[in-house]
Amino acid sequence: MDENRLHCDHCPVRFNTVWERKEHEYDRHGIGEAVPHPFMTEHYRTVEPYVTALRMIREAIGELFGPLASLESPEATLLRKEGPTPTSEAEAVIAALQRVEEVMRAA
């Protein structure tokens, strides 16, 4: 079973985030466990300033290099079941810098 699927296996419903699916499955079908919204957790409140700082770097890279960096959209990180994390933001920045480096090396 795909842990990251965005549909319910028990009724014809689709979701925008894994979190929404898990909430639905728990509320409607009693499957799994109550999952706090990623943005409502104590953990998220702790890491939010770091997420914000890394998001600023991500946006600066987007402005400096534009399509060269082809950054993962901030929305894409919302699809991650844990929400945006400092690690997911850092990974997006590193991947973008690697794409810029590849383009520069090929030039």
Q: Using CB under 5 A, list all residues that contact Zn ion.
A: 8, 10-11, 28
How near is the Cβ of 13 to Zn ion at its closest, in Å? Answer: 5
Residue 21 and residue 35 in contact, taking contact as beta carbons nearer than 8 Å: no
| Residue number, 11 or 94, with CB nearest to Zn ion | 11
Within a 10 A sphere around the Cβ of 15, how many other Cβ atoms?
Answer: 17
**Strand blocks (E) in the chain:** none
User: What's the CA gap between 72 and 7, in Å, rounded?
Assistant: 23
What type of residue is 92? A
Q: How far is the CB of 11 from Zn ion (least distance, A)?
A: 4
Residue, CB closest to Zn ion: 8
Of 8 and 35, nearer to Zn ion (C-beta) is 8
What is the smallest separation between the CB atom of 90 and Zn ion, expressed in angstroms? 35
